[in-house]
Structure 1
Amino acid sequence: MNIHRYSTLPLLRQAVRSLAHAHRLPADVRGRLVLSVTALAAPEFHAGRPVALTASCENGPGDGGLLAVTFHASRFAGPLATSDLPLPAPTTSGPTATWHIPTPAADPHRAGTHGPNPPPADPPILPPAESRDSDEELRAALALADSLAAGHRLLKHELAETNAGVVALYVQLEEQDEQLRKAHGQVLRELEDALRPPPPLIPGLDLAVHYAPADPGAPTGGDLYDWFTLPDGTLHITIVDAVGHGVRSTRSALNVTHAVRTLALEGHPLQSILARTHDILMPLDPRLMATVLLARIDPATGELQLANGSHPPALLVRSDDTAQYLEVRGRGIGFPLPGSDRVLSAHLDPGDLLLLYTDGLTESRKDVEEGEIRLVQAARTHAHLPLADIPTAIAADMHTIVLHADDTLAMALRITLPPL
C-alpha cells in the first residue's frame, strides 16, 4: 500500500477521482468522496502543510470488494472534524480518517477477465478531464435530488389524499352521529308529547302549559302533568317533579300521575290521595321520590282546592295585580310521613291568574326566595297577555340567567268572563 502526498487541491481532487474511476465507484459516491477529502485537506493546505492519501481493496479493484481510503493530515492537525462530511468517515484516529466503500462487482463480459478473481489491472486508469467528472458528479447529485423531490411530492400527495379521506370520514361520521342524535331526540320528544296531554276544552276555563327539559338533546325528564275532568265537572290537575333526569325519572313521574288519576276517579278525598299513592308505588319502586301538587277547580264557581306534597306553592295573581303564594304544608312520594297536611281552599274570580310550576322555574339561579320574588314580578308583567303565551313568556324572563339547569314546567289557568 503506497502513500501519496499532495500539496494542492486540484492534484488531490484528481487523485481521488482517479482512484474512484479505478474502482468504478458511482458518480454520486465519487462526488461525496471528493468533497469529503478536499474538506479535510483545505485547512491543511491553508496552513502550508501537505496531506497524504492511501487506498487498499480487499479483493482488488472491480471484484465487489471493500475499498478503504484513508486521509492523513499532518500530525500537528489534531483530531479531524468529520461529523458534517458529505460522505461520513466511520473510522477516525487523531489526524486520520478512513472511508470503507463497497465497490461494484466486475463485469464478466469485460475483456481480460481471468475467472472469478481477476488480478488488478497493471496500467492505471487515466482520469477523464476534471470538468467532465465534475459535470457527471453534479448530474448524479441533481438526479438524486430530483428523485428525492419527486418522492417527496408523491408522499405529500398521498398524505394529502389520506388526510382528505380521514377528514371526509370524520365529517361523514359526525353527520351520521348528528342524524342519530336528531332522530333519537325526535323519538323522545314524540314520546314526551304523548305523555303530556293537550289542554282540555272546558267552558269557562282557559289553560296553557310550557315545558322545557334541562338538556334539549335529551327531552325526557321528571316534570310531568296530568289534567282530566271528574264526573261532577271539576277539573283535576296533577303536577309531578320526580327526582332525577332522563327516562327513569319520566317513568317514575308517569307512575305517580297514573296512580293519582286512578285514585281520583275512584272518588278518594283530595287530602288522602298523596299518602295512598305513596303506599301503592313504594313497593314497586323503593327509590322513587317525587314532589306533587294536586289542584281541583270548579269552572262554574271558581272554587279552588290544593293539596301539596313538598312541591313549590301555587301563585295566584288577582286581576287587581295583587299576588300571593298559596302555601300548603306536606311531604311528597318517597318522603317520610308522606301526604298533604290539609286541603287549602281559595276562590278564583274572572281575570285572576293561577300559576302552577316546578322548581326549575324558580331555582335557576340557586336562590329559591329570590326566584319566588322574580316569579311574582314576571307573572304581573305578563298577566295581560293571551293565556296561551303567558307560561312561555314567564319562563323566558325567569331563565335570562341559568346557574342551575333543570327541567321546567309552568302551567297557567284563568277563569274566563261569562259571555254577555
Structure 2
Amino acid sequence: MNDRITTHSSLGGLREELRLLAYRAGLPVETRYRLALSAARVAAGELAEGRPVLLETVPPQSVARGTGTEQDRLTVRLHLPYASEGPSLEGLPLPAERVPGPAAVWRLPAPAEPAADGDRDGPAATELLEEELRAAVAGMDELAEDHRQLKHELSETNSGVLALYVQLEERDEQLRQAHGRMLRQLEDALRPAPVAVDGLEMAVHYEPAEKDAPTGGDLYDWFVLPDGTVHITVVDALGHGLTSTRAALNVTHAVRTLALEGHPLESLVARTDEVLATFDHELMATVQVVRLDPRTGELAMANGSHPPALLVRGGDGTGALLEARGRGIGFPLPGSEGLLHDRLDPGDLLVLYTDGLTESRRDPREGEQRLIKAARGLRERPIAELPAAIAEEMRTVVLHPDDTVALTVRRSRP
C-alpha cells in the first residue's frame, strides 16, 4: 500500500474511502468505524460549504517508541486546504493529532498481517458498513449484559446494605434504651424522692434544657433533721451538663453535712462557700435553704442569689413572693444577709424553683407574676401532679431552654 492522496466533496465518499483503506490495512472493525466517524466530523463543516477536503494515507512504517522497540503505524491525514483555521478535534470517537495548518492526523498501530493482496479491492461499502454495525451491536449486547450483571450485583449489595442498616437501627435502638435506663438510674440517684412526713405533702418536677442531656446544674435535696423539721435545699449551678451537675452535687452535699452537724441556718450559705472554695475555685451557684416545721407550719429561709420562693394561701388563693437577700456560692461576699420567717397554714402551698421556670420573653418580674397566676389556678391539684402542671403552664412562654426544678410543699388540712 503506497502513499495516496484523494479529493472528496461528500461525506459519503470520504467515509467509504476511509472504511476501505482501513480494511486493507487490517485495522480492527471498531477502529475502522471510529476513524470514519471522526474524519467525517472533522470534514463536515467544509463539505457542507461546498469546499473539498484531501485525504492522504501513508502505509505502515516502523516508528520508534520510547522503550526502544519499534511498531508499524498507519498514518491518515485529513487536509482542509480552504479552511481559515484548524478544525476542532475535541470529543472525536478516535482522538486525532493536531498538526500545523488546517489538518488532522491519525497514527494507527497496524496489525502484523494486513488484508491479503488478492483482496485488494475489498468488499463493497455496504458490506463494510454491515460489519461495523454487527460489531457495534455485539458491543452493545456485551454492554447490556455487563449492565444487567452490574444491576444484579448492585441489587444484592443493596439488599446487604439494607439488612445491615436494619441491624444498625436495631442496635441503635438497644443502645438508646440502655442509655435511657442508665440516665433514669442516674437521675434517681441524683434526685431524692419526696420525704414522707405527717402534715406535709411534697412533690418535685425536673425538666432538662436538652432531652438528650437530662442532667444539669439544677438540683435539690430534702431530709428530716433530728428535731423533726424538714430541711430543703435548691441549687442552680452555673453551666449545663455533667460539670454543672458535679458542682450542684458538691453544694447539696456540703449543705446537708453542715446542717446535720448543727450549723445555724443563717450561716449555711457562707459556710458552704468556705468549704467548697478550697477545692473548686470556679464553682458558682445560687442556693436557697428552707426549714419547715410540719407540726406548726413555721418556715425559715436563707438565700444566696436564688429566685424568691412563692407562698400561695389555701384559703383565699392570694400569692406572695418570699425573698431573702443574700449572695450565692462563688459570688463576692457570699452568704445570706438574714433569715426570712413565715408560716404555712393548713392548705397553704409553698413553691420553690430555679430560674428556668420563670424565664420569659420580657423580664423576670413578669415571669414571677405568671408563676403566681399559674400556682393560684392549680393549687388544688393533687400534689403529685402539681409541680409538673405548673411547669407545663409556665413553659408556654420561654426566652430560651434551661434546666428547671419546680418543687412544691403543701401543708395538709386536718
TM-score (ref. length: structure 2):
0.85
Q: Secondary structure at the match of 1:387?
A: coil
Query: Retained in 2: the 8 A contact 1:227–1:235?
Result: yes
- 1:253 corresponds to 2:253: no
Q: Aligned pair in 2 of structure 1 residues 240, 70: CA closer, same or farther (>3 Å)?
A: closer
Equivalent residue for 2:50?
Answer: 47
Equivalent residue for 1:71?
Answer: 78
Supply the AA of the counterpart residue of 1:31.
Answer: Y
- 1:89 corresponds to 2:90: no
Structure 2 stretches lacking a partner, 5+ long: 64-69
Equivalent residue for 2:107?
Answer: 100
Structure 2 CA distance for aligned equivalents of residues 17 and 37 of structure 1: 11
Q: 1:267: Cα distance to partner?
A: 2.5
Equivalent residue for 2:36?
Answer: 34
Q: Aligned pair in 2 of structure 1 residues 144, 322: CA closer, same or farther (>3 Å)?
A: same
Matches within 5 A, 1:342-381: 342-365=338-361, 367-381=363-377
Equivalent residue for 1:205?
Answer: 200
Query: Retained in 2: the 8 A contact 1:64–1:106?
Result: no
Moved more, 382-391 or 160-169: 160-169
Structure 2 CA distance for aligned equivalents of residues 50 and 217 of structure 1: 76
Structure 1 CA distance for aligned equivalents of residues 53 and 294 of structure 2: 121
Query: Retained in 2: the 8 A contact 1:68–1:98?
Result: yes
Moved more, 17-26 or 46-55: 46-55
- 1:337 corresponds to 2:333: yes
Q: 1:76: Cα distance to partner?
A: 3.3
| Residue correspondences, number | 403
Equivalent residue for 1:293?
Answer: 288
Moved more, 25-34 or 88-97: 88-97
Q: Secondary structure at the match of 1:126?
A: coil
Q: Aligned pair in 2 of structure 1 residues 267, 37: CA closer, same or farther (>3 Å)?
A: closer
Equivalent residue for 1:137?
Answer: 132
Q: 1:253: Cα distance to partner?
A: 2.0
Equivalent residue for 2:67?
Answer: none
Q: Secondary structure at the match of 1:360?
A: helix
Pick one of 393, 397, 414 that aligns with 2:393: 397
Equivalent residue for 1:415?
Answer: 411
Q: Aligned pair in 2 of structure 1 residues 133, 280: CA closer, same or farther (>3 Å)?
A: same
Pick one of 57, 78, 85 that aligns with 2:60: 57
Q: Aligned pair in 2 of structure 1 residues 228, 106: CA closer, same or farther (>3 Å)?
A: same
Q: 1:66: Cα distance to partner?
A: 0.3
Query: Retained in 1: the 8 A contact 2:223–2:232?
Result: yes
Pick one of 295, 300, 306 that aligns with 1:305: 300
Q: Aligned pair in 2 of structure 1 residues 216, 16: CA closer, same or farther (>3 Å)?
A: closer
Q: 1:129: Cα distance to partner?
A: 2.4
Structure 2 CA distance for aligned equivalents of residues 349 and 153 of structure 1: 85
Supply the AA of the counterpart residue of 2:82.
Answer: F
Q: Aligned pair in 2 of structure 1 residues 48, 312: CA closer, same or farther (>3 Å)?
A: closer
Structure 1 CA distance for aligned equivalents of residues 365 and 167 of structure 2: 49
- Identity between Structure 1 and Structure 2 (%): 56
Query: Retained in 1: the 8 A contact 2:3–2:59?
Result: no
CA offsets per residue over residues 213-264 of structure 1, 9 Å max, x none? 1122112222221211222221111112222222222222222222222222
Equivalent residue for 1:266?
Answer: 261
Query: Retained in 2: the 8 A contact 1:328–1:340?
Result: yes
Q: Secondary structure at the match of 1:58?
A: strand
Query: Retained in 2: the 8 A contact 1:82–1:88?
Result: no
CA offsets per residue over residues 293-324 of structure 1, 9 Å max, x none? 11111111111111112111111111211111
Query: Retained in 2: the 8 A contact 1:364–1:405?
Result: no
Q: 1:165: Cα distance to partner?
A: 6.1
Query: Retained in 1: the 8 A contact 2:9–2:52?
Result: no
Q: Aligned pair in 2 of structure 1 residues 93, 228: CA closer, same or farther (>3 Å)?
A: closer
Q: Secondary structure at the match of 2:355?
A: coil
Q: Aligned pair in 2 of structure 1 residues 2, 200: CA closer, same or farther (>3 Å)?
A: closer
CA offsets per residue over residues 114-137 of structure 1, 9 Å max, x none? xxxxxx976662211222111001
Query: Retained in 1: the 8 A contact 2:51–2:82?
Result: no
Considering only aligned residues, what root-mean-square deviation do their CA atoms show, in Å?
3.2
Q: Aligned pair in 2 of structure 1 residues 125, 191: CA closer, same or farther (>3 Å)?
A: same
Equivalent residue for 1:283?
Answer: 278
Query: Retained in 2: the 8 A contact 1:212–1:407?
Result: yes
Q: Secondary structure at the match of 1:135?
A: helix
Query: Retained in 2: the 8 A contact 1:208–1:388?
Result: yes
Q: Secondary structure at the match of 1:406?
A: coil
Q: Aligned pair in 2 of structure 1 residues 16, 244: CA closer, same or farther (>3 Å)?
A: closer
Query: Retained in 2: the 8 A contact 1:181–1:217?
Result: no
Q: Aligned pair in 2 of structure 1 residues 88, 310: CA closer, same or farther (>3 Å)?
A: closer
